[in-house]
Structure 1
Amino acid sequence: MKQIILVATLLFSCITYAQDENLVFHFQVQKNFLTSDYDLVLGENVTMWKEVSDPKQSEFNPTYIPDEDYKRKVLFKNLKSKEVFSEYDVLGAHFFVNDSLHKMAWTLMDNETEKVLGYDCKKAKTTFHGREYEVFYTDDIAISNGPWKFGGLPGMILKVVAKSDKEIYKMECYSIKKQKKETEEEFTNYLKKNKKKKFQTWDEFVKDFNSFLDRYIKGLKSEVEADGDSGFTLHFSVDNHLEIFSEKVQTDGVLLEF
């Protein structure tokens, strides 16, 4: 009887503790020559992926100039409605996207393993929004979730690497803690703050951005022609995004001749 009471007491304590605090996974994220820290906060119905430090330049990119108006990234996963809410700042324009959760077809490669933060992790791979990714997940943490938009595997994803010859994208968990975080409250406040914004599906965003890009290029040409300048070229590209939403400007960039 004492053993039963003890087990029941411990179980009640664990449940109470779990209700009061959230599991928080601390990640370091590398996007080419920039690194920053993110927190993955697990709530009962809402997961929050939040940038908690400004991007820092790598020693290989000493010319990087921080943006004084930089806005730290945040993303929400609504586990009930199976939706993802995210934002994109590109070429001075701001886009809001509401997409389906975990739209990823995984190939499991359980024979390939790696230790991450002391956990035995299995490998899986997927292609998502134009990039091929390899991830490492552990079923020792039996939660089907992960950093950013990742999830849908039989365990927590602790490491992500994009397979690319030209760019470097990497996410790796370096610490796990329990903290009090109001994910549902933050999500509600986020929706209230942006209630007048237009949230698009991923496909709508891709179409809208490429229309915006055409107008952007046309505006640049008109501005240069109005100034009467000629005899030079202008090249610009969009970097440091995990997804490909415009092959035109995200691969080789756009070259304009005047």
Structure 2
Amino acid sequence: MKKLLLFVLLLVCGNAISQDYKITYLKSSNGSLIENQDPILAFTSSEVTQIGSQSIFNGKADFPNEIIFVDRRTNSFSQVANLDATKTINSKDSVSLGKQTFEYLNDTKKILGYNCKKAKTIVNSNNIELWYTNELKVKGAPTILGQNLGLVLEMVRNGNFVIKATNIEKIKMFPTDPDLSKSIDMLTYKDLLWKSRFTTINVFKDQIINFSSESKSNDSILRFANGTIAVRKIRIPEIKVGSQIFVDVTEQSNGDAYDRTGSFFIIPNNKTLSFLDGLQNGAKTLPIYNNGNGKEYQGVVATENYNPIVELMRFFTPFGVKQYNNLQLKDKTWTENVLYRQDVSDLRSLLSNQEVWIGINIGNYDKGGHKVSANITIHNEEESKVTPKQIVPLFCTNNIMKMAGQEYGTMFSSDKGLEVTFKLDKPMKNCKLRYITTGHGGWENGDEFVPKKNTIFLDGKETFSFTPWRLDCGSYRLSNPASGNFPNGLSSSDYSRANWCPGTVTNPIFIDLGDLEAGNHNIQIKIPQGLPEGSSFSSWNISGVLLGE
């Protein structure tokens, strides 16, 4: 009888010691609570802790969402992510908790009536202060950090960001432990969780862009200009106003050793004629622009029945990355490829909820050419006050069909330069010209290596002028193994150029045009293009899109 009574007493005492708690935490920044936040909840007992947002534990969280499960019996933790309604992943870490180190201080204070001690540590150059109590006989924290200190009730990062407990309550029912039976490595876990946070549209994968009569189209990818252009029709979902849209291209040489002009572009098809007609039927079927110098320029300006391409991204290949990495130089390790990535959120209305023709081009004359992959990623924002933009394609002199006879952009040799007239059916406010420009051709005295002023006229009045130039080309030497080296100690890829470098993106600039009334308007671009030198000549690849509200 005495043994039975002792057992009951131990059981009761054990239950009292192993009380479970729910702690609610809120975040503050610079002394003010962050508005509309989803509180952090920590459920903790003597053996385990679960951490996640309030919406997750209430079953109302959006996907993806994540909880942390701490197991003190093994001094380990698992991260568990619900990527969607059917897919859950997890990864276990048995090392990190044991490696946490802290400096213990003599400071004390009360939080929610409990006496707390202070510890501090440094994480990625951030100073972290933690206030913890041992009075509740359990351990836990709102993050992985400090799980073994005691019950952390406040964390302060760099003195201005605070996560602080606002409520502690005893609970009778603990959340069900997550299923940890199928664990994956942490690197894979983090990668899958990261990718689930945005939408990826794969446009091209290891696509060869070369120059060969053997280049052929297939059911999904059309190839033109002897393989130097690849085009696909892509369905793009609806994109919320204010969301971020990025494009990325990965490139490596598949044989070509030279720096080349590349373009990742949209083919507008909202008029009678499109650039796709020119690809399928020849450049001569596109509208002709004449500026009085005796040459005909195909498909470069908008007309009543035609829109030129819209460049998502202008990029430039380096000298032979990957294919020529065997050309060794002391203390230089060549990159395996080049990644170009750019924000194109301003072009949302050309992409959202549409089926669009998207193409990629690298001008080259090599049978091996280049290998490229290209994607569009959509990163949704919850709410935005951004005003949707109207988009009017205006011009593009980048002769993407160069290998199929499209004329170079040499129209700037005359005083007229490039001129386009366009009509607005209704007024547009806060208009901007999204303008990309790069100079090409010639040798020492060619426009590729000589600064030249670009001047933009709107309705006959000079609106803006600047000299596009890049001084940082030497920064990309490790992407240019086949770049020629000169007696002065420089490599060809080091030299400054007319707004581009081998291995870089050329960003658009945005030129304010003000409010435009309905009716006809005229934009003119003038550049003092250099004169030909023997068989060498200069040209300019410019493209422009009108953006407005």
Q: TM-score range by the shorter chain?
A: 0.5 to 0.7
Change (3 A) 1:41 1:229: same
Give the Cα–Cα distance (whole angstroms) in 1 for the partners of residues 16 and 134 of structure 2.
22
Query: Are positions 1:220 and 2:219 aligned together?
Result: no
Amino acid at match of 1:25: K
Q: What is aligned with 2:12?
A: 13
The TM-score, its normalising length taken from structure 1, stands at 0.58
Q: How does 1:44-83 map to 2 (within 5 A)?
A: 44-53=46-55, 69-83=62-76
Q: How does 1:178-193 map to 2 (within 5 A)?
A: 178-181=171-174, 183=176, 186-187=177-178, 189=179, 191-192=180-181
Q: Secondary structure at the match of 2:101?
A: coil
Q: What is aligned with 2:140?
A: 145
Answer with 1 or 2: which has the greater Rg: 2
C-alpha displacement at 1:226, in angstroms?
Answer: 2.9
Change (3 A) 1:73 1:200: closer
Query: Are positions 1:257 and 2:507 aligned together?
Result: yes
| RMSD of aligned Cα (Å) | 4.7
C-alpha displacement at 1:109, in angstroms?
Answer: 1.4
Give the Cα–Cα distance (whole angstroms) in 2 for the partners of residues 130 and 25 of structure 1.
31
Contact 1:49–1:75 (CA under 8 A) maintained in structure 2: yes
C-alpha displacement at 1:29, in angstroms?
Answer: 3.4
| Unaligned runs of at least 5 residues, structure 1 | 1-5, 55-66, 210-214, 239-254
| Unaligned runs of at least 5 residues, structure 2 | 195-199, 205-245, 251-262, 267-309, 315-341, 346-378, 380-504, 509-549
Contact 1:25–1:176 (CA under 8 A) maintained in structure 2: yes
Amino acid at match of 1:229: E
Contact 1:46–1:78 (CA under 8 A) maintained in structure 2: yes
Q: Greater helix share, 1 or 2?
A: 1
**Larger relative contact order (CA 8 Å, sep ≥ 6):** 1
The TM-score, its normalising length taken from structure 2, stands at 0.30
Q: Secondary structure at the match of 1:225?
A: strand
Give the Cα–Cα distance (whole angstroms) in 1 for the partners of residues 89 and 123 of structure 2.
19
C-alpha displacement at 1:9, in angstroms?
Answer: 6.5
Amino acid at match of 1:78: D
Q: How does 1:171-250 map to 2 (within 5 A)?
A: 171-181=164-174, 183=176, 186-187=177-178, 189=179, 191-192=180-181, 195=182, 198-200=184-186, 205=190, 220-222=247-249, 225-227=264-266, 228-229=310-311, 234=343
Give the Cα–Cα distance (whole angstroms) in 2 for the partners of residues 16 and 181 of structure 1.
14
C-alpha displacement at 1:160, in angstroms?
Answer: 1.1
Change (3 A) 1:153 1:11: same
C-alpha displacement at 1:164, in angstroms?
Answer: 6.3
Q: Give 1:107's match in structure 2, choosing from 98, 103, 108.
A: 103
Amino acid at match of 1:14: C
Deviations 1:99-157 (A, max 9, x none): 235232101112x2222111121111112356331110113234343222133555321
Identical aligned residues as a percent: 17
Q: Secondary structure at the match of 1:53?
A: helix
Change (3 A) 1:235 1:76: farther
Contact 2:63–2:82 (CA under 8 A) maintained in structure 1: no
Give the Cα–Cα distance (whole angstroms) in 2 for the partners of residues 136 and 24 of structure 1.
18
Q: What is aligned with 1:136?
A: 131
C-alpha displacement at 1:205, in angstroms?
Answer: 5.0
Amino acid at match of 1:160: M
Give the Cα–Cα distance (whole angstroms) in 2 for the partners of residues 89 and 127 of structure 1.
30
Amino acid at match of 1:225: F
